[in-house]
Amino acid sequence: MEEKKKSDRFSIIKKIILTVFVFIICKILYMTTIKHEHYNELAENKTYKKLLIDAPRGEIRDRYGRLLAGNKNLFTVKISGDDIKKTDSNGKSMANDIALKTIKLLEKNNEEYVDEFPIVIKNGKYSYTFDKEIREYKEQNNIPKDLNAKESFYYLVDKLIAEGTLSKEDKRLEAGKLQSKLNENGYYPPILVSKWMFTEEKNKVDWLKSYKIENTNINAKQAFKEVRNSKLYEIDKNLSDQDARKILVVRDLIKSQGYSQYNPVTIAQDINEKTIAQIEENAIELVGVSVVIEPVRDYPNKSLASHVLGYVGKIPSNQEKSYLEKGYMKDDKVGLSGVEKSYEKVLKGTDGHKMVKVDAFGKITQEISVKEPKSGDTVYLSLDKDLQEVAEESLKQAVTVARTGGVFKSKFGNKTVSQTSANAKSGAVIAIDLNTGDVLASASYPDFDPNKFVTGISSEDYKKLQSENENDMLAARPLSNLVTQGAFQPGSTFKLITAMAALDNGLSPNYAINDPGVIRLGNRNFADYTWHKTKSNHGYTNLYKAIQESCNVYFYTIATGKNWTGKPDPGAKIGASDVLEYAKLFGLDESTGLDKEIQESEGKVPNPGDKLKNTKITLKSALTKKMKNYFTDITKDKDPVEYEKRIDEIVSWMDEEKTPGRVEAMNRIAKLKVKEDKVEEVADLAVFSYFNFAKWSTADTFNLSIGQGENAYTPAQMARAIAAIANGGNLVELSVVDKSVSTDYSDVDIDDNKKQKIKFNNDDNLKEIIKGMKLVSTKGTGKGVFANFPESVAVKTGTAEKSGKIPTVEEYQYLLKHMSSYGVDSKEAEKLAESMKKAREKELSKERKAEIKAKLEKKDLKEDERKSLESELKEGVKVKLENSDKVNAAYLRKAIHELNPDITDEKIDSYKSDYGSFGWGVAFAPADNPEIAVVSVIPQGKSSAYPLLVMREILGSYFGLLDKDKSVESTDKSSKNIDKNKLSEEGNINFTSQMKK
């Protein structure tokens, strides 16, 4: 009986345990299935969240600590991807409702918000922003609309070759290497050369595939429909496409963060108080939407030093991958030019974060821990803000007065200008500490406001920064820094280099000539400016007077080692090679050092070998086009190999020590089986247009000696050379950066500039040059500006002639307008031009096809390239020349020549304006104990007076001669020390004042 009772008790206990166990299982199933979302949300509500805190970007200040680039704090709307996905009491996701309400609230208050959803709906039409970005890139760079990625790439390359940025040899580089070459010169075409796709084309494909849309040719409307109706978002079908798009703006932005979706995304910046209040009031409805204070880049002085500072902006799409690999977030702002770019690693701070607990509405209920962000280092420039302001103001005034006339206003005395140059629209000036290489001021006009780029520049604003005439390489370009990128003929300022080459090789500064005013070489006159103007001369002239009055004939004499009047030759027997060598010693064939800090495209010293090489290339091109049907036994199409062989033989005659004359050339050409009626034509072309000018001549040396011809240097290069004259022969590295300092002052990185002693035969020869430069400011061409200047100044002026005519904005229309004066029927010319263009396209297609087949035969061809070439061959090779003004005008010009063989290009271009001469000025002061060197140039300014005015204002400011309050009067100019306890008031930010009212 007792055992039975025990058995019953065990049975009951088992049943109880089993019942409890079944209950637990059921509860688990209930919680993990039926109520999964509810309990999951509860769990999430109790988890910690890690929120990023953006670090302020490091400041950029002038040499005395005055703010040039800082940060302003803006109220920013953030949306948390995790929080807006929470469900309501019915288990429905709140994401779409929150997204729509947020965008409508922002729109109601006229707030700008981030809209990166790549399908736009306008007037009932749907379009991709990817396509728009490609169109705008082409428009901004004047690339014809119908060109594909590869054609656009090489169109840009051809343009840069024409501008002298790239060489013809560069174009033969493999595409990847050529792209690197473009990058080195500051050009970043958004093109993937490995696939020959625009970056935006690739982005479009990737975006569509992210929504599992495999048809990459789908139109924008259909793509929008598929994204809208996807299960990913479950957007209410009753909503209009406009409202659905507002939802997608937010949700696609969150989705684009990939694995970082837990980080809140920025949807709007710089919002006003009303918007802040409404977001706070609607916190329950706007779960996951918050307002935070974020630092944003700010340039308080607007355009001041814009070319040196550069600007920040969104990460370029073609560089996004590399930035993300470095730890950047997709919506981070990075330096894109100038110091902002070169010092990106230093200026970028380290983001912080805080661990928080949030409630069901996504609001923070508890702050667990905080890791404060660390702002970037402060970069101190060598620039003097006051001097920079004077440089920019005076340069702008000088360019304006040069173009329109009027009065140049100055505390040294106003100067009325009567002679004007309508094409003077740009200019540059640089001032340096000639002993250290520190750049004290650097201004290029026109300039730009870098604030426009901070949150993304509009297409309208970007267009305003483009050239008015893309056909004209000298047209004003606000984004170009002429100080380091404008390589111009230096004119008479180069005579100082010629003088040193002669002095250092034995010339006595007292060697004199009786200046005849002109030297005649063949049928060409090489004369002094005064001879051109009044048929007069400089009379008895030694080196000092030659520098003072800028006597061309004197420098022709010393550069060739020959007195062309028949009197005693100079004591120094030098030639072009010596002048070129000294130009290199003065650093005119290399970077100034600024390439490491701001974009630089330095000029190069002429190379006699390059002249021959380039002449051979142009002759071969001319003969190849001209002689395709000139032989009696072959044509270019029937036997291209033999055809090229014969053309190469004609070109090779240029390498002979004495090139053949007309008769000899005709005899040789006849032996090559050229048609009898074409022999004379080919010989005249080769001899008189190419052979006679292929090699370096006395005329080239004449031009070299006075800074004409192939000479071309930037103002920065000239400043470095002038500094070497002033400081006793030390070639200093230029720099705009003084130092960088960490936030806590624990790390100070001082930028020390390199200095190299030039190995002259006798440094004292520089003193003879300085004597001549001092005479320029007191008796010569600089007297009108510097005669009464309180400090002694050593000066040299120059005006460089620019050959050629200014291209018109629309070359094709120009040709049509003047067609009757060319003796040609316009309709006939247009028809022939079109026919010639089509023939050329057919020819290029054939050549391209042969090129592809030849490449495919190579065993070491990369697989990606092989597939690309095979695909191109399979699709059918059809090369299309761009339908651009430049190309169409070129073929119309060819048609004009074909229809009227006697007309010349000079006649065709005779209705265009001539380029104006370039006004140059170089100086340093005090003349006897130099501290500062200044160089200025005004392209097409026609007179050196304008640069001199700019230079005088800068020197006046430097020496404290201008009545202008300075906040740093007592500061030692060379100080590299930092007062850690004295912070600039400009650095203190009042957060409340940053609100919009």
Q: What digits encode the pLDDT tens for the residues 480-519?
A: 999 999 999 999 999 999 999 999 999 999 999 999 999 9
Question: Helices 241-255 and 95-108: crossing angle, nearest 10°?
Answer: 110
The yes-or-no verdict on residue 703 having pLDDT over 80 is yes
What pLDDT is recorded for position 258? 65
User: Virtual CA dihedral for 851, 857, 858, 859, nearest 10 degrees?
Assistant: 160
What's the chain's length in residues?
997
Evaluate whether 869 touches 856 at the Cβ level (below 8 Å).
Answer: yes
What pLDDT is recorded for position 382? 97
Evaluate whether 285 touches 101 at the Cβ level (below 8 Å).
Answer: yes
Half-sphere exposure of 996 (CA within 13 A, CB side): 15
Evaluate whether 61 touches 382 at the Cβ level (below 8 Å).
Answer: no
Evaluate whether 82 touches 370 at the Cβ level (below 8 Å).
Answer: no
For the chain, percent of residues with pLDDT exceeding 70: 91
The yes-or-no verdict on residue 43 having pLDDT over 70 is no
How far is Cα 666 from Cα 364, in angstroms, rounded to an integer? 92
What pLDDT is recorded for position 346? 94
Mean pLDDT, range 814-818, rounded to an integer: 92
Give CATH 3.90.1310.10 domain extents, the chain. Answer: 53-379
The yes-or-no verdict on residue 38 having pLDDT over 90 is no
Mean pLDDT, range 240-260, rounded to an integer: 85
Write the DSSP string, 339-393.
Answer: HHHHTHHHH--B-EEEEEEE-TTS-EEEEEEEE--BPPPEEEES--HHHHHHHHH
The yes-or-no verdict on residue 971 having pLDDT over 50 is no
How far is Cα 660 from Cα 959, in angstroms, rounded to an integer? 61
Residue indicated by tokens 């005090």: 926
Q: Tell me the helix, strand and coil percentages in the chain, rounded to 5.
A: 45, 15, 40
Residue 717 backbone zone (phi > 0: left; psi -120 to 50: alpha; other: beta): alpha
The yes-or-no verdict on residue 812 having pLDDT over 70 is yes
Residues 6+ apart with CB under 8 A from 200: 130, 131, 133, 134, 190, 317
Q: Would you identify the CATH topology of the domain 53-379? A: Penicillin-binding protein 2a (Domain 2) (3.90.1310)
Residues 6+ apart with CB under 8 A from 107: 113
The values of phi and psi at residue 355, to 5°, are: -95, 125
> Kindly report the CA angle at 32 between 30 and 37, in degrees rounded to 5?
105
Binning pLDDT at 50, 70 and 90, where does residue 468 land? confident
Evaluate whether 772 touches 541 at the Cβ level (below 8 Å).
Answer: no
Which of 497, 511, 506, 399 has the alpha carbon at shortest distance from 445?
399
What pLDDT is recorded for position 887? 82
Taking only the tens place, the pLDDT of each residue in 354-381 is 777 766 555 666 777 788 888 899 999 9
Which of 386, 421, 382 has the alpha carbon at shortest distance from 400?
421
Mean pLDDT, range 181-197, rounded to an integer: 81
Taking only the tens place, the pLDDT of each residue in 281-320 is 888 888 888 888 888 899 999 999 999 999 999 888 778 8
Residues 6+ apart with CB under 8 A from 575: 559, 560, 561, 701
What pLDDT is recorded for position 1? 53
Taking only the tens place, the pLDDT of each residue in 514-540 is 999 999 988 889 998 889 889 999 999
Taking only the tens place, the pLDDT of each residue in 150-185 is 888 888 888 788 766 787 778 878 888 888 888 777
Evaluate whether 305 touches 116 at the Cβ level (below 8 Å).
Answer: no
- The DSSP call for residue 296 is E
What pLDDT is recorded for position 948? 96
Strands 60-61 and 378-381: parallel
Taking only the tens place, the pLDDT of each residue in 872-902 is 777 777 777 777 787 888 899 889 988 887 7
Mean pLDDT, range 760-783, rounded to an integer: 95
- What Rg value do the Cα atoms of the chain yield, rounded? 36
Half-sphere exposure of 577 (CA within 13 A, CB side): 2
Reduce the DSSP state of residue 498 to 3 states and report it: helix
For the chain, the average pLDDT equals 85
Taking only the tens place, the pLDDT of each residue in 561-584 is 999 988 999 988 899 999 999 999
Evaluate whether 541 touches 551 at the Cβ level (below 8 Å).
Answer: yes
Strands (E), 59-203: 60-61, 67-79, 119-122, 125-128, 191-192, 197-198
Mean pLDDT, range 405-417, rounded to an integer: 89
Binning pLDDT at 50, 70 and 90, where does residue 969 land? very low
- The DSSP call for residue 59 is P
